[in-house]
Amino acid sequence: MIHTNKKGSWLEITVPEEWEKYTLETLFKDFWMAPKKLVHAFRMEKSVLLNGQVPDWTLPFQKNARLSLKLFTEEKPTHIPQYLNVDIIYEDDHLIVFNKPAGMDTHPNEDGQTGTLANAAAFHLLASGEVSRPRHIHRLDRDTTGAVLFAKNPLTAAILDKMLQERSIKRTYLALTDGIIRQKKGIIDKPIGRDRHHPTKRRVSENGQPAITYFHVIEKKKQHTLVQCSLATGRTHQIRVHFSAIGHPLTGDLLYGGSDGVSRQALHAVKLEFTHPFTQEKITCHAPFIDEEPIFTIDPYSI
């Protein structure tokens, strides 16, 4: 674990031994994988100090050096701050994980839209005295519940975006499907593309983008199967499309042929696991079930 300390607008990091092979240039480029435009801004605005001084970005770190990053600057929110009753699973100076309820978009889809998780995130930070711009790292469908990760500053967002692309942020889902899935576990490897006949629907298509879903069966009920899922890709509606394609649509998912036994598609992002961008601590977040009428009966913390 790497020692960090927030001091006003600055984050101070005690450079660990394993970083002594890096220069500032290679730390930002190879370790944090920050975009060139963001790195340029840090350099031009002198938002990086080493032992309190403007550093030479080409020199390797010295043992026990003190790296300071000006991360906590004020940013005008891009979304309208709005109070919404949304639970927080995890929060620190850099990021926040919400437990999104059903019936809520992750972010606005048009200018001025409110009622989304991004609006709630903007309000929460403002109410906490943090004038910053929360950035969602991934999203969930409107009627899918569970853990959603936001970054509080541009560098954290850039690092987490790269981690998501490289699949080092692990997301685990629970789904209730129609019918009995006979196999104990499996891989659904079917490309997904847009449905030409429906503006928001997706379908399995030979010309679609690659999509892979891993699953294993947790429990078989009379007419339904409870499955745990993880994704090797992150396509829109991926789990919903894949289980529909194998003849087991999600219960409540009327768009993809599911039965109407519950009030929404039975899909919940139950667990989120990732390595903290700065401390390198392993973070595991479990999202409790929040439906008024229970869809899942399993303990979410057992996943």
Q: Please enumerate, as own/partner, the contacts of 195-202 that have beta carbons within 8 Å and a separation of 24 or more.
A: 200/255, 201/237, 201/255, 201/256, 202/235, 202/236, 202/237, 202/241
Q: Which of 56, 93, 105, 141 is catalytic?
A: 141
Buried b (16+ CB within 10 A) or exposed e, 109-130: eeeeeeebbbbbbbbbbeeeeb
Query: Which DSSP category does 156 fall into?
Result: H
Annotation says 260 is catalytic: no
**How far is Cα 65 from Cα 257, in angstroms, rounded to an integer?**
59
Residues 6+ apart with CB under 8 A from 221: none
Q: Do 158 and 34 contact (CB within 8 A), yes or no?
A: yes
Residues 6+ apart with CB under 8 A from 86: 98, 99, 100, 101, 104, 117, 120, 124
Nearest to 69 by CA among 166, 138, 162, 4: 4
> How many angstroms from the chain centroid is the CA of residue 261?
29
Tell me which amino acid residue 42 is.
F
Helix/strand/coil for 122:
helix
C-alpha–C-alpha distance, residues 244 and 257, integer Å = 7
Q: Which positions are annotated as active-site residues?
A: 141
